[in-house]
Amino acid sequence: MADSMGKLTFTVLVPSYRRPQSLQRCLAGLLAGTRLPDEVVVVLRDEDAESQEQLRQWLDHNQPACRVQPTIVSEPGQIAAMNRGLQAARGDVVCFTDDDCVPQRDWLERLAEHYQREDVAGVGGRDVVHRGTEIVSQPATVVGKITWWGRIIGNHHYEFKGGPIEVDHLKGANMSFRRNMLREFDVNLASGSSCLNDTDMSLGVRQQGGKLIYDPQVIVDHYPAPRFGKSTRQTEALSLVYSDSHNWVYCMLKYMSPIRRICFLAYALGIGMGTRYGLLKYLAALPTGPIAGTRQWLAATRGKLAAIRTYLQRPRSSRSARDQ
């Protein structure tokens, strides 16, 4: 709830699994900010005893100036962790970042400025990706857009020269939303390291009429750390191709009009994007790697067809107004 002065309160939600050193670096960055969050909710798995113990020791040693609440979840996967964190969050605005990210000192201060506008429902910014001593970067003229036929354009980690702009979706490593606009993360999304839960949440907030703002000066430094369990950073892994294809199709079907859905399915199955091969991308890949290309196309196609079933089997109560 807003404090007694009418000021919005901010919760930062950080899910973490088996990366205690990265988590401590993230928390140190948060607590060194020019504006402190009102609370930090850290979600840890019940089986991750090492992270729990190291977090306890770190909190005892550092005695943070704001409330840091460790929260335990037993169900595996990022979506379960995020939903557990949402249950614990008390702030008017919930900010999300990853445990391998370090917010810059003015991160929360810059982010909070945008919420002075009542029509702004979500704010995010750039995650500067560090690969050793190098920064992954290139100029970007388009950020956070989704074309009418369903191509997702991210580029949140690239260098965008413009100022704050309205976007279609934000990136999970650096995003925030008004708490009253948030629903639970959709458990129908397939697990995987790129499960598009951030895109799904962004589209759900926009569907309610809220504006999303991307500010390239709202920055976290991202130091990609190893992932454990089902997650992987290998974009060619067939399990990731399946889950990524599933969630892409499922998200687009949820939020598109009937006519756009037809166009999108023709694009997704006939062409595809990235590793989510459609027929034409598969045929183009055959000369250079017929076996690998066939496996990737089959994994992507299975994911897309499963997504159609997932969408059609959703309870009627969870469907958007466009479905009614």
User: Could you give the CA distance from residue 72 to residue 19 in angstroms, rounded to a whole number?
Assistant: 15
In order along the chain (324 residues), what is the average pLDDT of each group of 10 residues? 70 96 96 96 97 95 90 94 96 97 98 97 98 93 97 96 96 97 94 82 97 98 80 67 96 97 98 95 93 95 97 74 48
Residue in the block written with tokens 């990524």: 244
* 96-167-213 Cα angle (round to 5): 55
pLDDT computed for residue 324 by the predictor: 43
The pLDDT of residue 83 is 96
Helix (H) or strand (E) holding 28: helix 20-31
Query: Nearest-CA neighbor of 238 among 154, 153, 310, 303?
Result: 303
Identify the pLDDT of residue 195.
82
The values of phi and psi at residue 68, to 5°, are -115, 115
> What's the pLDDT at 226?
79
pLDDT at 53: 97
Kindly report the pTM of this predicted structure: 0.92
Q: What are the residue boundaries of the structural domains of the chain, listed by start?
A: 10-222, 238-323
Domain 10-222, second-level architecture: Alpha-Beta Complex (3.90)
Which sign, positive or negative, has the C-alpha torsion 166, 167, 168, 169?
negative
Judge whether 61 and 262 are in contact, CB under 8 Å.
Answer: no
The answer to whether 171 and 154 are in contact (CB under 8 A) is: yes
Q: Give the Cα separation of 89 and 301 in Å (integer).
A: 38
Q: Which positions ≥6 away from 72 have C-beta within 8 Å? A: 43, 44, 45, 46, 52, 84
